[in-house]
Structure 1
Amino acid sequence: MSKVVLITGGSSGIGEAIGTHLSAKGYTVYGTSRNPDRLTGQQPFPLLKLDVNNADNAVSVCKHIVDTEGRIDVLINNAGVGVTGPMEEVPEAEMRKVFDTNFFGPVNMMKAVLPYMRKEGSGLIINITSIAGYMGLPYRGVYSAVKGALSLASESMQMELAEMGVDVCDLAPGDFNTNIAQGRYHAPIDSDSDYAKSYARVMDVINSQMDSASDPSRVGEKVAAIIESGRRKRHYKVGGFMEVFSVRLKELLPDKVFNKLLRNHYKL
């Protein structure tokens, strides 16, 4: 029997790439979107209407899939939003929106699916985090913080669920060629702000990286490898060599040296 996979945020970008790859490999895939009726149906898998911020909606979607397929074998928490701006000037309301979607949204989904997985005595949850969650990046502090929080929560849940047959891990992508930049919230910065010039330089670096980023199909391939692995790790990374290696560098180098490397990279 093919595994039943639920992917949040499956209408575009990394979520669509994951779903497309898994569908091609024979998995039974369900994606979600806040507004599936507006889409053209180019995905080779069905899209269910879901707002991950709505806990009742999360429960009803999981129930629908279990009623249809009998189970959910894999949950991939991919839905999320981006944000940039100086920590001092990102409005608190926008910070809370990011944590609602990128942290509490995945928590809602895990709470909704776990009763079924625990009953079956098996299941896998893959939380899509970010390499940005391993380090505080300039003008991406909110995003780094929320992805780091989800990674640590994944560690905790893995230990809590191990005896119940449910596995939890996280996959941290680097930059991939998706439409996330178009939907990213950018804090409005006045021209006379002390951050204006350095923020503009950092955004130029970020945008140039997106222009040369890899195809998100690589993330789909990595997810399939995780699902099919006999011995899973707690944390996975996928991206360019230097993106992945930067995590190791942060572990090895003194804080001041690593900080200087980041500042040089972002022209600060």
Structure 2
Amino acid sequence: MSKVVLITGGSSGIGKAIGEYLTKKGCIVYGTSRSPQKYSDSCSFSLLRLDVLQPESISEAVSEIIKKEGKLDVVINNAGVGITGPIEETPSEEIKKAFETNLYGPIEVIKAVLPQMRQQKSGHIINITSIAGYMGLPYRGIYSASKAALEITTEAFRMEVQQFGIKMTNVAPGDFATNIAAGRYHAPVLDDSPYKTAYSNTLNMMNEHVDQGEDPKKMAAVVYKIIETGNPRIHYKVGASLQKFSIVLKRILPDKVYERMLLKHYKIK
């Protein structure tokens, strides 16, 4: 039987690429968006309204899928928000919003689908995190922290739900060519800021990395492979070799050596 898949944030970028790939592989895919009517003509799969900041919209979308299909096999928590800026100068409300979207939102989605998966005695929840979640990156500290929190939460959640036959996996992408930069919150570069030069240079570098990022289809292929794996790993990293190797270096290098490496990379004195 075809697997029924729910993808949050499925109207563009990595989420859309995953949805289109899984549809071609025979899955029944439901993507979500806060405004699905804007994208319905450009997607090859169904789009439902879902805002991860609104628990009632999560419940409604999940209930609609179960009513139509009678089951829910795979949930991919892809919806997220980018945020950059010196932590000192980042508005508190934007910090809270980032954590609400990148951490609390996925948790609410998981809580909404667990009763159905427990009843089925099966299911697979895949959380899209980030390679940035494995290290504190300058001027991306809040984003790194929110994704790191999701990584660790998944580790604990996974152990709690194994007894019900439910799998849970993290997939951490590096830089992919998507429109994430357009929707990212940027703390403004202030003329009188002590961080002005370093932050401005780092911001330009981050945008270049996204523009030169890899094809999201690569991410989609990995996600499909994970879904088809009987005993998936806890953590997967997908991206350029150097980005994945940076995680290895953090594990083996002394902290201050690794810090100097990052400072040199981002040209921060």
Q: Deviations over 1:55-108 (max 9, x none)?
A: 111111111000000110000000011000001010000001111111111011
Structure 2 equivalent of residue 57 of structure 1: 57
Specify the code of the residue in structure 1 equivalent to 2:244.
Answer: V
Which deviates further from its counterpart, 200-209 or 126-135? Answer: 200-209
Following TM superposition, the consecutive aligned residue runs of length 4 or more in structure 1 with deviations greater than 6 angstroms are none
CA distance in 2, matches of 1:209, 1:189: 19
**Structure 2 counterpart SS, 1:88:** helix
Is 1:242 paired with 2:257? no
Query: Equivalent residue for 1:20?
Result: 20
Q: What letter matches 2:32 in structure 1?
A: T
Separation in 1 of the partners of 2:249 and 2:230?
Answer: 28
Instruction: Give the letter for the 2:129 counterpart.
Output: T
Which residue of structure 2 aligns with residue 167 of structure 1?
A: 167
Instruction: Give the Å deviation of 1:204.
Output: 1.7
Cα shift readout 1:159-182 (whole Å, capped 9, x = no counterpart): 000111001111000000000000
- Residue 67 of structure 2 aligns with which residue? 67
2:142 aligned residue:
142
Deviations 1:103-153 (A, max 9, x none): 111011001100000011000000000000000000000000000000000
Equivalents in 2 of 1:263, 1:65: separation in Å? 47
Shift of 1:231: 2.1
Q: Gaps (5+ residues) in structure 1? A: none
Given the alignment of the two structures, is residue 87 of structure 1 paired with residue 94 of structure 2, yes or no? no
Q: TM-score, normalised by structure 2?
A: 0.98
| CA RMSD after TM alignment | 0.8
Residue of structure 2 in register with 1:252 after alignment? 252
Corresponding pairs, count: 268
Partner of 1:103: 103
Q: What does the per-residue CA deviation read over 1:204-249, in whole Å, with 9 as the maximum and x for residues that have no partner?
A: 2112212211111111001001001122110001000001111111
Question: What SS does the aligned partner of 1:72 have?
Answer: coil
Indicate the residue corresponding to 2:117 in structure 1: 117
CA distance in 2, matches of 1:189, 1:176: 25
Q: Distance in 2 between matches of 1:208 and 1:101?
A: 24
Query: Kindly, what percent of the aligned residue pairs are identical?
Result: 53
3-state SS of paired residue (2:89): coil
Give how far 1:186 is off: 0.4
d(CA) in 1 for partners of 2:19 and 2:211?
23
**How many Å separate the matches in 2 of 1:190 and 1:266?**
19
SS at match of 1:171: strand
The code of the aligned residue for 2:260 comes to K
For 2:95 and 2:32, locate their aligned partners in 1 and report how far apart those are by CA, in whole Å: 23
Q: For structure 1, which segment, 186-195 or 127-136, has the greater mean C-alpha deviation from structure 2 after superposition?
A: 186-195
Partner of 1:232: 232
Pair 1:78 & 2:78 matched: yes
Shift of residue 40 of structure 1?
Answer: 5.0
Once residues 38 and 11 of structure 2 are traced to their aligned partners in structure 1, the CA distance between those partners, rounded to angstroms, is 10
Q: Which residue of 2 aligns with 1:219?
A: 219
Q: Secondary structure, in 3 states, of the residue corresponding to 2:97?
A: helix
> Residue 23 of structure 2 contacts residue 29 of structure 2 at CA under 8 Å; is this kept in 1?
yes
Q: Which amino acid aligns with 1:123?
A: G
Range moving further from structure 2, 256-265 or 13-22: 256-265
- Equivalent residue, structure 2, for 1:189: 189
The residue identity in structure 1 corresponding to 2:210 is M
TM-score by length of 1: 0.99
CA contact (8 A) 2:40 2:46 kept: no
Go from structure 1 to structure 2 and tell me whether the alpha carbon gap of 1:30 and 1:40 turns closer, same or farther (over 3 Å shift). closer
Q: Which runs of structure 2 are paired with 1:23-42 in the superposition (5 Å)? A: 23-39=23-39, 41-42=41-42
In structure 2, distance between residues paired with 1:77 and 1:233: 17
